[in-house]
Each structure stands twice: as structure tokens, then as C-alpha cells.
Amino acid sequence: MGATRTRNEQARLLVVPAIALAVACTGVAAVPAIAADAAKPVTHTVVMDGVKYAPDALTLRRGDTVVWVNKDPFPHNVTAKGAFESPDIAAGKSWKWTARKTGDYAYMCTLHPNMKGTLKVE
Ligand SMILES: [Cu+2]
């Protein structure tokens, strides 16, 4: 996770002067939107509530992070064998994973085998 943060900070260091320069030259309109589009990693949240993942299908880009937040009063996990396997995530806790490879990932909670989700990493 430390590496992700460092990369974000580097991206920010590059983006901020670019915005400042563009604003100085052209004014404010639309420039931040263009800068934000430059493959900056995004964090997506999946809530675990009522023994379901919400959303249960998510598309993300390589470098993005998914945070699963357990809002149920009992543990869940996030298991995609061979790709990622969380420990059991206690009530109120969360767990995160950063996508490094493209592909389709089907995952489930091994404690509740009907609890399933998918990630598509582009
Ligand atoms: Cu579960």
C-alpha cells in the first residue's frame, strides 16, 4: 500500500503544476477535468451488507484499488483463489486490494458461498 501512496503523490506532484500553469495561461474552466483523466489511480468501494457485495460487479483500471467495507454485524471475506484472498473481515472493518493485472476476477465469501462478486480490470 505504501507504494501506491507514493505513486499517487508523484502523480499529484506532476498534475498540480500542470493545472497551475494551465490556469495561469487560459483561466479555470475545464482544465482540472482534463488533468484528472490522466490515468490517475482510483479507489472504488464495495460495501458488504445483508450478505451481499454492493456493487456486485465492478469495472476498474489497472492500478485502481478496491476497498471492501463490511457493514454487516458478522465477518465476511473476499476470496478469488489465485488472485486475491482477504482474511476474514470483522464487522465494521475493511480490506483493500490493488489491481495489477487485467482480467476478469470472480470472487466470493467463503463463509457465505452464495455471496459473490466480479471485478473486471481493464
Ligand atoms: Cu460472508
Read off the pLDDT of residues 6-59 as tens digits, 9 standing for 90 and up.
Answer: 454 544 444 444 444 444 444 444 455 555 556 799 999 999 999 999 999 999
Strands, E, within the chain: which ranges?
A: 43-48, 53-54, 57-60, 65-70, 79-80, 84-85, 94-98, 103-109, 112-121
Cα of 60 vs centre of ligand 1, distance in Å, is 23
Cα of 93 vs centre of ligand 1, distance in Å, is 13
Q: What is the mean pLDDT of residues 75-103?
A: 97
Tell me what pLDDT residue 20 has: 42
In whole angstroms, what is the distance from residue 80 CA to residue 22 CA? Answer: 43
In whole angstroms, what is the distance from residue 22 CA to residue 98 CA? Answer: 31
pTM above threshold 0.95 = no
CB 60 within 8 A of CB 44: yes
Tell me what pLDDT residue 25 has: 41
Domain at 43-121: CATH architecture: Sandwich (2.60)
Domain residues of the chain, as ranges? 2-36, 43-121
Residues, the chain: 122
Tell me what pLDDT residue 88 has: 98
Which residues make up the environment of ion ligand 1, defined by Cβ < 5 Å?
A: 76, 109, 111-112, 115
